Amino acid sequence: MYVGTVWCDSNLVNFRIMNKKIENMKFNKKLQIAVIGPAGPEEYPKDSAPSPRIYELAEEIGKKLAQNNCIVVTGGKSGIMFSAARGAKSVGGMTVGMITKDERFSSNEFTDVEIALGAQVIGMQEYLLPIMCDALIVLGGGAGTLIEIAAAYSNNRPIVALEGTGSWADMFGGGYIDDRKKVKVELAKDATDAVDKALRAVKKKYE
């Protein structure tokens, strides 16, 4: 809660903030954490669909993020996005989905807030999503996930990869995307570890 007084005199504004709820944070707002990874198995050939376990892990992560008072951000579709949002909603959390279409009500049933881009260029959604987030948690992933990781890395967003989920998570986890070494991709051993590392990374970023 903000407690303060505002005086406007000759364009002078003096606003005193007496807020100690979140130490060392720039804003008293909920953190926005993205959970990214593959879409549903319906988008893959039968012999290369992601393991059902990866969706179970996404749901667990969404739930734990909501329990830590975070807003869960996804691409609003199936698969990881559906599972993470469902996990958050199971404990009364808030979810946001950034969707490519320009039509309302086109995201999954567990998405509270839709951000409809109406984008005609493939990859625009994946580039913009990390920008609105404080950190990303990665599980496996395809081409879209790679764009999201690269965008997060280029814009200094903390990234946590869940070990054993395959693809980019295992490839980049524990290292860097390129030789500039802007952001180390933290490697997490399970859902709880992933959420803990994401929250610690955000706290460190805003100190």
Question: Would you call 168 helix, strand, or coil by DSSP?
Answer: helix
Lowest mean pLDDT among 64-68, 87-91, 102-106, 179-183: 102-106
Which letter does DSSP use for residue 9 in this model? E
Q: What integer pLDDT is reported at residue 201 of this predicted model? A: 97
pTM of the model: 0.85
Confidence of residue 127 (pLDDT cuts 50, 70, 90): very high
Q: What does the pLDDT read at residue 25? A: 54
Instruction: State how far the Cα of 112 lies from the Cα of 106, in Å rounded to an integer.
Output: 12
Report all structural domains of the chain as residue ranges with CATH numbers, in order of start. Answer: 26-206 (3.40.50.450)
pLDDT for position 202: 96
**For position 177, what pLDDT does the model report?**
96
HSE (side-chain half, CA atoms, 13 Å) at 159: 36
Average pLDDT, the chain: 87
pLDDT in tens, 20-73: 334 445 557 899 999 999 999 888 888 888 999 999 999 999 999 999 999 999
What is the predicted pLDDT for the residue at 101?
77
- Measure the CA–CA gap between 151 and 163, rounded to whole angstroms: 21
Q: Which residue has the higher pLDDT, 43 or 174?
A: 174
Per-residue pLDDT of 82-94, as tens digits, reads: 999 999 999 999 9
By percentage, how much of the chain surpasses pLDDT 70?
A: 87
Given this model, what pLDDT does residue 154 score? 96
Nearest Cα neighbor of 84 from 48, 52, 110, 49 is: 110
Rounded to an integer, the average pLDDT of 10-20 is 32
Which residue reads 């570890």 in tokens? Answer: 193
Residue 4 has pLDDT above 80, yes or no: no
Q: Which pLDDT belongs to residue 13?
A: 33
